[in-house]
Amino acid sequence: MQTNATYTSLVAIGDSFTEGMSDRLPDGSYRGWADLLAARMAARTPGFRYANLAVRGKLIGQIVAEQVDVAAAMQPDVITLVGGLNDTLRPKCDMGQVRGLLEEAVERLAPACKQLVLMRSPGRQGPVLARFRPRMEELFACVDDLASRHGALVVDLYGAPSLGDPRMWDVDRLHLTGEGHRRVAEAVWQTLGYDAEDADWRTPMPPSPPPGWGTRRTADARFARQYLLPWIGRRLTGRSSGDGLPAKRPDLLPYETPEA
């Protein structure tokens, strides 16, 4: 890994994690770690270009079919690929197929850029992580293997204590808060060889008193009503939250920081 790196372009591909949910801007759109990273890189490199092809809800097969060739054709300096976690959360998941598709993606992306970046995705502490941990860790073992064979960098978010804290996660319990996305951007920034702006991004937040029983039950009921039941409904009907949505930033264009 080089230090004091200079890259002139970035293409990010993946699902809701890379789209930026739930780091919401005042206009209702999502920002997220990839936008934050692009802003930092653009501030250092005039004319820096950025594309974000991520769409919420995408499975690894959809990412390969819809995003990989588009990203490769752009020939950017850096490509980030995060995918497969949505597959592991499905009741029925063929991990052999997931590994094969991820390998296909890496084999097509690695020669198309100067630096491919993969990730071990963060996991919120709780029953969901406990239930799906074996699948997630099988996915991350595949990520590590592919990185070693294709010269990719791996950002280890799964092993970061700070990102397991439930306070880093939105009320849907699936997406990071703005502070979580900021820490992910810092992690990728450092992995790419840039000087640290927050050397303590892995450090957990200070402890706080646990919420009372009533507060927890209210939060659980809200979560079930607004997020869990709709999620189950989409699974049963074969729908996705990203159906019909375009890529977040489909063209590799000069990055301009959006107005607040």
pLDDT at 229 over 50: yes
3-state secondary structure of 55: coil
Burial class (CB in 10 A: 0-12, 13-18, 19+), 28: exposed
Residue 164: both structure tokens together: 């397991």
pLDDT at 211 over 70: no
* pLDDT at residue 130 in the model: 73
Average pLDDT in the chain: 87
Residue 162: both structure tokens together: 């700070």
Which residues have C-beta within 8 Å of that of residue 8, sequence separation ≥ 6?
A: 45, 47, 48, 49, 77
Residue with more model confidence, 163 or 125 = 163
pLDDT digits (tens, 9 = 90+) for 92-108: 899 999 999 999 999 99
* pLDDT at residue 18 in the model: 97
Distances (CA, A) of 223 to 71, 157, 164, 217, 226: 35, 24, 18, 10, 5
pLDDT at 227 over 50: no
Question: Prior bond to 148 cis, omega within 30?
Answer: no
How are strands ordered across the β-sheet holding 9-14? Answer: 153-156, 115-120, 78-82, 9-14, 49-52, 249-254
pLDDT at 63 over 90: yes
* pLDDT at residue 115 in the model: 98
CA distance 175 to 184: 12
Residue with more model confidence, 52 or 243 = 52
Amino acid at 62: Q
pTM above 0.95, yes or no: no
pLDDT at 72 over 90: yes
202: nearest Cα among 175, 248, 164: 164
Calculate mean pLDDT across residues 136-142: 96
